[in-house]
Protein backbone atom coordinates (compact mmCIF):
# COMPACT_ATOMS: atom_id res chain seq x y z
CA UNK A 1 0.00 0.00 0.00
CA UNK A 2 1.46 3.33 -1.08
CA UNK A 3 2.30 5.52 1.92
CA UNK A 4 1.48 9.22 2.09
CA UNK A 5 3.92 11.57 0.38
CA UNK A 6 5.25 14.48 2.44
CA UNK A 7 7.75 17.28 1.81
CA UNK A 8 10.62 18.79 3.72
CA UNK A 9 13.11 21.54 2.90
CA UNK A 10 16.74 20.87 2.01
CA UNK A 11 18.19 24.32 1.45
CA UNK A 12 15.92 25.84 -1.20
CA UNK A 13 14.69 22.47 -2.45
CA UNK A 14 11.44 20.71 -1.54
CA UNK A 15 12.31 17.05 -1.02
CA UNK A 16 9.54 14.45 -1.29
CA UNK A 17 9.62 11.55 1.16
CA UNK A 18 7.47 8.73 2.54
CA UNK A 19 7.55 6.68 5.75
CA UNK A 20 6.23 3.16 6.14
CA UNK A 21 6.28 0.69 9.04
CA UNK A 22 7.17 1.12 12.70
CA UNK A 23 10.04 -1.28 13.29
CA UNK A 24 12.72 -0.72 15.96
CA UNK A 25 15.37 0.54 13.51
CA UNK A 26 15.25 2.97 10.59
CA UNK A 27 16.25 2.13 7.02
CA UNK A 28 16.57 4.96 4.50
CA UNK A 29 16.34 3.77 0.88
CA UNK A 30 18.60 5.83 -1.40
CA UNK A 31 17.74 5.05 -5.04
CA UNK A 32 20.07 5.12 -7.99
CA UNK A 33 20.07 7.40 -11.01
CA UNK A 34 16.45 8.64 -11.00
CA UNK A 35 13.38 7.72 -8.97
CA UNK A 36 9.73 8.51 -8.32
CA UNK A 37 8.52 7.40 -4.89
CA UNK A 38 4.87 7.31 -5.97
CA UNK A 39 5.59 5.16 -9.04
CA UNK A 40 7.64 2.70 -6.97
CA UNK A 41 4.43 1.33 -5.48
CA UNK A 42 2.92 0.69 -8.91
CA UNK A 43 5.38 -2.14 -9.58
CA UNK A 44 4.31 -5.21 -7.56
CA UNK A 45 7.82 -6.66 -7.20
CA UNK A 46 9.34 -3.40 -5.97
CA UNK A 47 6.36 -2.68 -3.70
CA UNK A 48 6.62 -6.18 -2.25
CA UNK A 49 10.35 -5.88 -1.60
CA UNK A 50 10.04 -2.52 0.16
CA UNK A 51 7.07 -3.74 2.20
CA UNK A 52 9.07 -6.77 3.34
CA UNK A 53 11.68 -4.41 4.83
CA UNK A 54 9.01 -2.88 7.07
CA UNK A 55 8.54 -6.18 8.91
CA UNK A 56 11.73 -5.41 10.84
CA UNK A 57 12.27 -1.67 10.31
CA UNK A 58 10.73 1.73 9.76
CA UNK A 59 11.34 2.42 6.06
CA UNK A 60 12.02 5.95 4.77
CA UNK A 61 12.14 6.61 1.02
CA UNK A 62 12.74 9.88 -0.82
CA UNK A 63 13.46 11.46 -4.20
CA UNK A 64 16.72 13.40 -4.22
CA UNK A 65 16.75 16.95 -5.59
CA UNK A 66 16.22 17.06 -9.34
CA UNK A 67 14.27 13.79 -9.52
CA UNK A 68 10.78 12.37 -9.06
CA UNK A 69 8.42 14.40 -6.90
CA UNK A 70 11.18 16.67 -5.53
CA UNK A 71 12.09 20.07 -6.96
CA UNK A 72 13.88 20.09 -10.29
CA UNK A 73 17.18 21.87 -10.89
CA UNK A 74 18.95 23.04 -14.04
CA UNK A 75 22.30 22.76 -12.31
CA UNK A 76 24.35 19.77 -11.26
CA UNK A 77 23.60 18.71 -7.71
CA UNK A 78 26.81 18.19 -5.74
CA UNK A 79 27.49 15.29 -3.42
CA UNK A 80 27.29 17.79 -0.56
CA UNK A 81 23.81 18.72 -1.73
CA UNK A 82 22.75 15.09 -1.86
CA UNK A 83 24.03 14.54 1.68
CA UNK A 84 21.98 17.58 2.74
CA UNK A 85 18.91 15.85 1.30
CA UNK A 86 19.55 12.75 3.44
CA UNK A 87 20.00 14.87 6.56
CA UNK A 88 16.83 16.83 5.79
CA UNK A 89 14.79 13.64 5.48
CA UNK A 90 16.28 12.19 8.67
CA UNK A 91 15.38 15.40 10.51
CA UNK A 92 11.85 15.47 9.07
CA UNK A 93 11.20 11.90 10.22
CA UNK A 94 12.83 12.38 13.65
CA UNK A 95 15.39 9.73 12.81
CA UNK A 96 18.53 10.01 14.91
CA UNK A 97 20.36 7.17 13.17
CA UNK A 98 19.58 4.90 10.24
CA UNK A 99 20.85 2.15 7.98
CA UNK A 100 21.41 3.50 4.46
CA UNK A 101 20.14 1.03 1.85
CA UNK A 102 21.51 2.25 -1.47
CA UNK A 103 21.31 1.06 -5.05
CA UNK A 104 23.71 1.77 -7.91
CA UNK A 105 24.55 5.50 -7.96
CA UNK A 106 23.03 5.93 -4.50
CA UNK A 107 25.94 3.97 -3.07
CA UNK A 108 28.55 6.67 -3.55
CA UNK A 109 26.67 9.30 -1.56
CA UNK A 110 25.90 6.70 1.15
CA UNK A 111 29.59 5.91 1.55
CA UNK A 112 30.45 9.62 1.78
CA UNK A 113 27.60 10.24 4.23
CA UNK A 114 28.93 7.56 6.57
CA UNK A 115 32.30 9.35 6.68
CA UNK A 116 30.85 12.82 7.21
CA UNK A 117 27.99 11.80 9.53
CA UNK A 118 29.05 8.59 11.30
CA UNK A 119 26.83 9.47 14.27
CA UNK A 120 23.76 9.23 12.03
CA UNK A 121 24.75 6.06 10.15
CA UNK A 122 24.00 2.66 11.68
CA UNK A 123 25.28 0.81 8.65
CA UNK A 124 25.53 0.84 4.86
CA UNK A 125 23.76 -1.67 2.63
CA UNK A 126 24.84 -1.31 -0.98
CA UNK A 127 23.33 -3.35 -3.82
CA UNK A 128 25.23 -3.08 -7.10
CA UNK A 129 27.05 0.12 -6.11
CA UNK A 130 30.29 1.59 -7.48
CA UNK A 131 33.27 3.69 -6.44
CA UNK A 132 33.65 5.60 -9.71
CA UNK A 133 32.00 5.73 -13.12
CA UNK A 134 34.91 6.56 -15.41
CA UNK A 135 37.50 4.13 -16.74
CA UNK A 136 41.06 4.25 -15.41
CA UNK A 137 43.87 1.72 -15.24
CA UNK A 138 43.34 1.21 -11.52
CA UNK A 139 39.54 0.91 -11.96
CA UNK A 140 39.09 -0.81 -15.35
CA UNK A 141 35.47 -1.88 -14.80
CA UNK A 142 33.96 1.60 -15.26
CA UNK A 143 32.75 2.69 -18.71
CA UNK A 144 35.13 4.47 -21.05
CA UNK A 145 34.41 8.02 -22.20
CA UNK A 146 33.25 6.61 -25.55
CA UNK A 147 30.71 4.33 -23.89
CA UNK A 148 29.44 7.18 -21.72
CA UNK A 149 28.98 9.35 -24.82
CA UNK A 150 26.81 6.61 -26.32
CA UNK A 151 24.65 6.59 -23.18
CA UNK A 152 24.25 10.38 -23.42
CA UNK A 153 23.10 10.04 -27.01
CA UNK A 154 20.63 7.30 -26.13
CA UNK A 155 19.02 9.56 -23.54
CA UNK A 156 18.84 12.51 -25.93
CA UNK A 157 17.36 10.46 -28.76
CA UNK A 158 15.10 7.96 -27.02
CA UNK A 159 14.13 9.12 -23.53
CA UNK A 160 10.73 10.42 -24.60
CA UNK A 161 9.82 7.15 -26.32
CA UNK A 162 11.15 4.65 -23.82
CA UNK A 163 12.87 2.77 -26.65
CA UNK A 164 16.15 2.08 -24.90
CA UNK A 165 17.48 -1.41 -25.41
CA UNK A 166 20.02 -0.75 -22.67
CA UNK A 167 17.19 -1.02 -20.12
CA UNK A 168 16.92 -4.74 -20.82
CA UNK A 169 20.33 -5.34 -19.26
CA UNK A 170 19.01 -3.98 -15.95
CA UNK A 171 16.69 -6.96 -15.55
CA UNK A 172 17.50 -9.75 -18.03
CA UNK A 173 15.08 -12.06 -16.22
CA UNK A 174 12.23 -9.77 -17.32
CA UNK A 175 13.66 -8.52 -20.63
CA UNK A 176 10.82 -10.15 -22.59
CA UNK A 177 8.09 -8.98 -20.19
CA UNK A 178 6.61 -6.07 -22.15
CA UNK A 179 4.46 -4.89 -19.24
CA UNK A 180 7.44 -4.64 -16.92
CA UNK A 181 9.67 -2.96 -19.50
CA UNK A 182 6.91 -0.42 -20.25
CA UNK A 183 6.63 0.32 -16.52
CA UNK A 184 10.40 0.68 -16.20
CA UNK A 185 10.57 3.19 -19.07
CA UNK A 186 7.61 5.09 -17.57
CA UNK A 187 9.22 5.02 -14.13
CA UNK A 188 12.42 6.55 -15.45
CA UNK A 189 10.52 9.23 -17.40
CA UNK A 190 8.50 10.09 -14.30
CA UNK A 191 11.75 10.36 -12.37
CA UNK A 192 13.40 12.94 -14.63
CA UNK A 193 12.86 14.88 -17.84
CA UNK A 194 15.26 14.16 -20.72
CA UNK A 195 17.40 17.17 -19.80
CA UNK A 196 17.47 16.29 -16.11
CA UNK A 197 18.33 12.64 -16.84
CA UNK A 198 21.17 13.74 -19.12
CA UNK A 199 22.49 16.16 -16.48
CA UNK A 200 22.50 13.41 -13.87
CA UNK A 201 24.18 10.96 -16.24
CA UNK A 202 26.94 13.46 -17.03
CA UNK A 203 27.38 14.25 -13.37
CA UNK A 204 27.63 10.59 -12.42
CA UNK A 205 30.54 10.20 -14.82
CA UNK A 206 32.61 12.35 -12.46
CA UNK A 207 31.75 10.47 -9.23
CA UNK A 208 34.91 9.08 -7.64
CA UNK A 209 35.10 7.98 -3.99
CA UNK A 210 38.09 5.65 -4.42
CA UNK A 211 40.41 7.80 -2.31
CA UNK A 212 38.17 7.89 0.78
CA UNK A 213 37.13 4.24 1.01
CA UNK A 214 39.75 3.50 3.65
CA UNK A 215 38.17 6.21 5.85
CA UNK A 216 34.88 4.29 6.12
CA UNK A 217 34.48 2.73 9.57
CA UNK A 218 30.73 2.06 9.45
CA UNK A 219 29.67 -1.62 9.05
CA UNK A 220 29.07 -2.13 5.34
CA UNK A 221 27.16 -4.90 3.54
CA UNK A 222 27.95 -5.18 -0.18
CA UNK A 223 25.47 -7.15 -2.31
CA UNK A 224 26.28 -8.02 -5.94
CA UNK A 225 24.97 -10.38 -8.59
CA UNK A 226 27.76 -12.15 -10.45
CA UNK A 227 26.20 -11.67 -13.88
CA UNK A 228 25.29 -7.98 -13.50
CA UNK A 229 26.41 -6.21 -16.71
CA UNK A 230 25.71 -2.69 -15.43
CA UNK A 231 27.83 -2.74 -12.28
CA UNK A 232 30.34 -5.60 -12.33
CA UNK A 233 30.92 -7.90 -9.37
CA UNK A 234 34.62 -6.97 -9.60
CA UNK A 235 33.60 -3.50 -8.40
CA UNK A 236 32.11 -5.09 -5.30
CA UNK A 237 35.31 -7.00 -4.68
CA UNK A 238 37.28 -3.76 -5.03
CA UNK A 239 35.04 -2.02 -2.49
CA UNK A 240 35.26 -4.95 -0.06
CA UNK A 241 39.06 -4.88 -0.26
CA UNK A 242 39.21 -1.12 0.47
CA UNK A 243 36.48 -0.85 3.14
CA UNK A 244 37.80 -2.38 6.35
CA UNK A 245 34.55 -3.20 8.13
CA UNK A 246 32.72 -4.71 5.15
CA UNK A 247 31.12 -7.96 4.04
CA UNK A 248 30.68 -8.90 0.38
CA UNK A 249 27.92 -11.30 -0.68
CA UNK A 250 27.87 -12.50 -4.29
CA UNK A 251 24.60 -13.91 -5.67
CA UNK A 252 23.96 -15.87 -8.83
CA UNK A 253 21.85 -14.06 -11.42
CA UNK A 254 22.21 -11.17 -13.84
CA UNK A 255 19.64 -8.57 -12.73
CA UNK A 256 20.97 -5.18 -11.65
CA UNK A 257 17.60 -4.38 -10.07
CA UNK A 258 17.51 -5.73 -6.53
CA UNK A 259 13.75 -6.36 -6.55
CA UNK A 260 13.77 -8.75 -9.54
CA UNK A 261 15.19 -12.25 -9.78
CA UNK A 262 15.89 -14.08 -6.50
CA UNK A 263 14.82 -11.56 -3.87
CA UNK A 264 14.72 -13.90 -0.87
CA UNK A 265 18.52 -14.17 -0.71
CA UNK A 266 18.92 -10.39 -0.90
CA UNK A 267 16.28 -9.70 1.76
CA UNK A 268 17.67 -12.42 4.03
CA UNK A 269 21.14 -10.82 3.97
CA UNK A 270 19.69 -7.39 4.70
CA UNK A 271 17.54 -8.63 7.59
CA UNK A 272 20.44 -10.53 9.14
CA UNK A 273 22.73 -7.48 8.79
CA UNK A 274 20.18 -5.16 10.40
CA UNK A 275 18.75 -7.44 13.12
CA UNK A 276 21.38 -10.13 13.61
CA UNK A 277 18.81 -12.81 12.77
CA UNK A 278 18.30 -14.52 9.41
CA UNK A 279 14.67 -15.14 8.36
CA UNK A 280 13.38 -18.66 7.91
CA UNK A 281 12.73 -19.22 4.21
CA UNK A 282 9.46 -21.10 4.66
CA UNK A 283 8.11 -18.38 6.97
CA UNK A 284 9.29 -15.76 4.49
CA UNK A 285 7.35 -17.41 1.69
CA UNK A 286 4.22 -17.67 3.84
CA UNK A 287 4.36 -13.93 4.47
CA UNK A 288 4.95 -13.27 0.79
CA UNK A 289 1.93 -15.37 -0.18
CA UNK A 290 -0.52 -13.90 2.32
CA UNK A 291 -3.91 -13.14 0.81
CA UNK A 292 -5.44 -11.00 3.53
CA UNK A 293 -4.51 -7.72 1.84
CA UNK A 294 -7.60 -5.57 1.42
CA UNK A 295 -8.52 -5.34 -2.25
CA UNK A 296 -10.45 -2.10 -1.76
CA UNK A 297 -7.41 -0.35 -0.27
CA UNK A 298 -5.02 -1.49 -3.00
CA UNK A 299 -7.43 -0.55 -5.80
CA UNK A 300 -8.27 2.85 -4.31
CA UNK A 301 -4.58 3.67 -3.82
CA UNK A 302 -3.46 2.60 -7.30
CA UNK A 303 -6.32 2.81 -9.81
CA UNK A 304 -4.79 5.79 -11.63
CA UNK A 305 -1.66 3.82 -12.50
CA UNK A 306 -1.77 2.13 -15.87
CA UNK A 307 -1.49 -1.42 -14.53
CA UNK A 308 -2.90 -4.63 -15.96
CA UNK A 309 -5.44 -6.65 -14.00
CA UNK A 310 -2.72 -9.29 -13.50
CA UNK A 311 -0.53 -6.65 -11.81
CA UNK A 312 -3.35 -5.56 -9.50
CA UNK A 313 -3.77 -9.22 -8.54
CA UNK A 314 -0.08 -9.40 -7.57
CA UNK A 315 -0.36 -6.19 -5.54
CA UNK A 316 -3.26 -7.79 -3.68
CA UNK A 317 -1.26 -10.96 -3.01
CA UNK A 318 -3.59 -13.19 -5.03
CA UNK A 319 -3.52 -15.32 -8.14
CA UNK A 320 -5.45 -13.84 -11.06
CA UNK A 321 -8.31 -16.33 -10.64
CA UNK A 322 -8.67 -15.72 -6.89
CA UNK A 323 -8.39 -11.97 -7.37
CA UNK A 324 -11.21 -11.89 -9.93
CA UNK A 325 -13.40 -14.07 -7.70
CA UNK A 326 -12.79 -11.98 -4.57
CA UNK A 327 -13.19 -8.74 -6.53
CA UNK A 328 -16.58 -9.72 -7.97
CA UNK A 329 -17.78 -10.84 -4.54
CA UNK A 330 -16.88 -7.44 -3.06
CA UNK A 331 -17.77 -5.05 -5.91
CA UNK A 332 -20.34 -7.02 -7.94
CA UNK A 333 -18.49 -6.19 -11.15
CA UNK A 334 -15.25 -7.01 -12.94
CA UNK A 335 -11.93 -5.27 -12.19
CA UNK A 336 -11.84 -3.84 -15.73
CA UNK A 337 -15.28 -2.21 -15.45
CA UNK A 338 -14.54 -0.89 -11.96
CA UNK A 339 -11.24 0.65 -13.06
CA UNK A 340 -12.81 2.24 -16.10
CA UNK A 341 -15.63 3.77 -14.03
CA UNK A 342 -13.26 5.09 -11.32
CA UNK A 343 -10.94 6.65 -13.90
CA UNK A 344 -13.83 8.29 -15.70
CA UNK A 345 -15.14 9.76 -12.43
CA UNK A 346 -11.68 11.17 -11.75
CA UNK A 347 -11.52 12.57 -15.29
CA UNK A 348 -14.84 14.31 -14.68
CA UNK A 349 -13.41 15.91 -11.53
CA UNK A 350 -10.35 17.12 -13.43
CA UNK A 351 -12.53 18.64 -16.16
CA UNK A 352 -14.51 20.53 -13.53
CA UNK A 353 -11.68 21.63 -11.26
CA UNK A 354 -8.47 21.88 -13.30
CA UNK A 355 -7.18 23.70 -16.37
CA UNK A 356 -5.75 20.58 -18.00
CA UNK A 357 -6.53 20.00 -21.66
CA UNK A 358 -8.36 16.86 -22.80
CA UNK A 359 -5.18 14.99 -23.69
CA UNK A 360 -3.69 15.72 -20.27
CA UNK A 361 -6.90 14.66 -18.50
CA UNK A 362 -6.81 11.40 -20.45
CA UNK A 363 -3.34 10.41 -19.24
CA UNK A 364 -3.77 11.82 -15.72
CA UNK A 365 -6.83 9.60 -15.35
CA UNK A 366 -4.96 6.43 -16.22
CA UNK A 367 -6.03 6.03 -19.86
CA UNK A 368 -3.43 5.33 -22.55
CA UNK A 369 -5.46 6.06 -25.65
CA UNK A 370 -7.16 9.43 -26.20
CA UNK A 371 -9.85 8.20 -28.59
CA UNK A 372 -10.75 5.34 -26.22
CA UNK A 373 -10.96 7.81 -23.34
CA UNK A 374 -13.28 10.17 -25.28
CA UNK A 375 -15.55 7.32 -26.41
CA UNK A 376 -15.74 5.86 -22.87
CA UNK A 377 -16.49 9.29 -21.39
CA UNK A 378 -19.35 9.82 -23.89
CA UNK A 379 -20.83 6.43 -23.03
CA UNK A 380 -20.90 7.19 -19.29
CA UNK A 381 -21.73 10.92 -19.24
CA UNK A 382 -23.65 11.26 -22.53
CA UNK A 383 -21.36 14.02 -23.83
CA UNK A 384 -17.77 14.34 -24.96
CA UNK A 385 -15.16 15.67 -22.51
CA UNK A 386 -15.04 18.97 -24.40
CA UNK A 387 -18.81 19.35 -24.37
CA UNK A 388 -18.98 18.42 -20.68
CA UNK A 389 -16.27 20.94 -19.79
CA UNK A 390 -17.88 23.75 -21.83
CA UNK A 391 -21.30 23.12 -20.36
CA UNK A 392 -20.34 22.85 -16.68
CA UNK A 393 -17.40 25.25 -16.51
CA UNK A 394 -19.51 27.92 -18.20
CA UNK A 395 -22.06 27.94 -15.37
Fold topology of 336-393: Arc Repressor Mutant, subunit A (1.10.10)
45, 119 Cβ separation under 8 angstroms = no
CB atoms under 10 Å from CB of 329, counted, come to 9
Strand partners, 223: 127, 249
58, 21 Cβ separation under 8 angstroms = yes
- Band (289; pLDDT cuts 50, 70, 90): very low
Question: Could you tell me the end-to-end alpha-carbon distance of the chain, in angstroms, rounded to an integer?
Answer: 39
Residue of 42, 15, 237 lying closest to 139 (CA atoms): 237
SS3 readout for 249-275: EEECCCCCCCCCCCHHHHHHHHHHHHH
173, 255 Cβ separation under 8 angstroms = yes
Over residues 314-321, the mean pLDDT reads 79
Per domain, the residue ranges of the chain are 6-287, 290-332, 336-393
Over residues 371-392, the mean pLDDT reads 91
- Band (1; pLDDT cuts 50, 70, 90): low
Give the right CATH number for 6-287 from 3.40.50.300, 3.40.50.1820, 3.20.20.70, 3.30.2320.50: 3.40.50.1820
Q: What is the mean pLDDT of the chain?
A: 88
Query: What is the pTM assigned to this prediction?
Result: 0.74
SS3 223: strand
Whether the pLDDT of residue 87 is over 50: the answer is yes
- Summarised one tens digit per residue, pLDDT across range 264-276 is 899 999 999 999 9
- Summarised one tens digit per residue, pLDDT across range 327-346 is 998 899 999 999 999 999 98
Burial pattern 57-82, b for ≥16 Cβ within 10 A else e, equals bbbbbbbbbbbbbbbeeeeebebebb
- Summarised one tens digit per residue, pLDDT across range 180-193 is 888 888 888 888 88
Whether the pLDDT of residue 395 is over 90: the answer is no
Amino acid sequence: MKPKTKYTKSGNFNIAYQVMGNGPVDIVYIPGWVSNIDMMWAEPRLAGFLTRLTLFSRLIVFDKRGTGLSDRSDEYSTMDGRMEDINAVLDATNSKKAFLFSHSEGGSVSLLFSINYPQRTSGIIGFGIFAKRRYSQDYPWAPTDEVRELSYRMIEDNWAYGYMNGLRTLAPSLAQDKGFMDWLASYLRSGASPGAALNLQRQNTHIDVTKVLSDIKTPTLLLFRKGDKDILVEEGRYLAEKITNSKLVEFSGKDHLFWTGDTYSVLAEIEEFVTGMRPNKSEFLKIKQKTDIKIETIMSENYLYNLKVEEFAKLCGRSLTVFKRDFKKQFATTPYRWLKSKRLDYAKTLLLESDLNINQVCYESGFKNNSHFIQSFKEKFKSSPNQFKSKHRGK
